[in-house]
Amino acid sequence: MKFTKMEGCGNDYIYINGFAERIPQEKKPALVRRISDRHFGIGGDGAIFINPSQEADCEMEMYNADGSRAEMCGNGIRCVAKFVYEKGLVRKEHLTVISAGKIKYLDLSVENGEVVRVRVNMGSPVLAPELIPVVMEEIPAPDRVVNEPLVVDGREYRMTCVSMGNPHAVIYTDGVEKLDLEKIGPGFESHPRFPRHTNTEFVEVKDRSHVFMRVWERGTGETLACGTGACAVTVASVLNGLTDERVTVKLLGGELQIEWDRKANLVYMTGPAVTVFEGEIEEEAYV
């Protein structure tokens, strides 16, 4: 099985060409777990299969490192665009990608035949608690979750919840660089108020147009970046009156430019996509 290792701001995945590789669906979770292992496999935050689609230019079938399915990855979808363009699968500078039944629209910046940056229309943020989903304790429940209390391991935090195709809980706190996410992250991910678990962003606001965040991703753990998380943080920061609608989000692996066009209610993400290396493995050794 041939593969391509790619990363966006350090959020790295193993990309498999589903146009050419035919892997039984039931084998994919185990395959992803093995190849994502950073000691015994290729190593990555998960794997993404790039498949043909009748609804869009291609399909992005995404898995977390633990083999669970995920709905969307902002850094991953930029790499999908780079992959299909440079491999000649979809030779368009404006293309569509479907993931978990939802279509995203991408604009590619191409230099000398190489995709260097991608702007993604990430769609409208979902704020309704039942759609994120997050369980609300108030009766009647509010129509959005902004600066609401959440107790994790005996400590109270304030959360703002947003779905960008996958659930996010945004937490504002000081000393983000020094947080022990390995210790506190699992308590957020598996908290009973998140029935489908959640990604959690820990954020410091630097000024009206700059924030710093670290992220604990469900099914993976801490990653160097999260594109949907950066989008959720921007929306949450605007809702809390902390930033303007255009924000540079600094992550451990780099920076993303995020804009929430509130008039159109659309979120746009711009960032890099990088090919790390390519290779081939014996699929049978991993399933």
The tokens for 226 are: 């999260």
Catalytic pick among 9, 79, 161, 226: 226
Task: Let me know if 226 is a catalytic residue.
Answer: yes
- Please calculate the CA angle 51-55-58 and round it to the nearest 5 degrees: 25
Biggest CA–CA distance in the chain, Å, is: 58
231 is catalytic: no
CB 178 within 8 A of CB 136: no
Active-site hit among 73, 79, 161, 231: 73
In order, the DSSP letters of the chain are: -EEEEEEETTEEEEEEETTT----GGGHHHHHHHHH-TTTSS--SEEEEEE--SSSSEEEEEEETTS-EES--HHHHHHHHHHHHHTTSS--SEEEEEETTEEEEEEEEEETTEEEEEEEE--PPB--GGGTT----SSSPPSS-SSEEEEETTEEEEEEEEESSSEEEEEE-S-GGG--HHHHHHHHHT-TT-TT--EEEEEEEEETTEEEEEEEETTTEEES--HHHHHHHHHHHHHTTSS-SEEEEEETTEEEEEEEETTTTEEEEEEE-EEEEEEE--GGGG-
| Contact (Cβ atoms closer than 8 angstroms) between residue 72 and residue 100 | yes
Instruction: Report the catalytic residues.
Output: 73, 226
